Amino acid sequence: VSRRILIVDDHAGFRASARRMLEAGGFEVAGEAEDAAGARVAVTELSPDAMLLDVQLPDGDGIALAAELTADGGSPEIVLCSSRGADELGSALTRSGACGFLTKDELSPAAIRELLS
């Protein structure tokens, strides 16, 4: 199944690496956003199937954004990611409505595919 995925991260270098990797792994990258505001707009305009969402965004908290988007229903499936470990992020992670969490260096098409239903 071809999945259209949105990449949300404030580091352009990481977005570029992630795009190369996901495209090589058979995903279609629907778009990129660099902050929470951009992510909300992109979700509405691009209706991606899934979203790779950084936990720390310059204008807010990725975990809170995930909770906000999934609360409505009809949100894309969300995989949270961070260069910090899950143990540094606390229990909010499990209550975010996201379907999974990856540290950034664990990112691979296979790992994403496993987390998405």
Partner 1 sequence: VSAARTPLRRALAGIAIAGVLLGIVTFVMVASSEVPTAPLLEAFLTLLVGWSFIGTGLFAWDRRPSNLIGPLMVGVGFVWMLAEFKTSDIPLAASIGFAISSLSISFLIHLLLIFPTGKVRSRLDRFYIVYAYVAGGFVAGFPILFYNPATDPDCKHCVTSNPLLIHANLDLVHAIFTGLSAVSVPILVTLIVHLVRRARAADAEERRSQEPVWWAGLATILLFTAALLTNLGPESGNYDDVVWYLANFVIATVPFAFLLGLLRTRLSEADLVAEENVRLDAELQARLDELRESRARIVEAGYVARRKLERDLHDGAQQHLVGLALDLRLAREKLDDDPRAAAEMLDEASAELAKATEELRELARGIHPAILSDRGLEAAIESLAKRAPVPVEVDASLDHRLPEPVEAAAYFVVSEALTNVGRHAGAGRAEVEIRRSNGNLVVEIKDDGRGGADPAGSGLRGLADRVAALDGRLEVEDPAGGGTIVRADIPLSGNGAS
Residues forming the site for partner 1 (CB under 8 A)? 11, 13-14, 16-18, 20-21, 24, 83-84, 104-105, 107-108
Task: Tell me the closest approach of the beta carbon of residue 8 to partner 1, in angstroms.
Answer: 15
At 74, the amino acid letter reads: G
Residue closer to partner 1 by CB (options 10, 68) is 10
Provide the minimum distance between the beta carbon of 95 and partner 1 in the complex, in angstroms, as a whole number.
24
Parallel/antiparallel/unpaired status of strands 100-103 and 77-82 = parallel
CB of 59 to partner 1, least distance (A): 15
Instruction: Rank residues 72 and 105 by Cβ distance to partner 1 and give the closer one.
Output: 105
* Residue 109 burial class via C-beta count within 10 angstroms: exposed 0-12, middle 13-18, buried 19 and up: middle
Q: Which is nearer to partner 1, 23 or 45 (CB)?
A: 23
Both structure tokens of 106: 């664990």
- Residue 92 and residue 82: Cα distance in Å, rounded? 14
The total number of residues written for the chain in this structure? 117
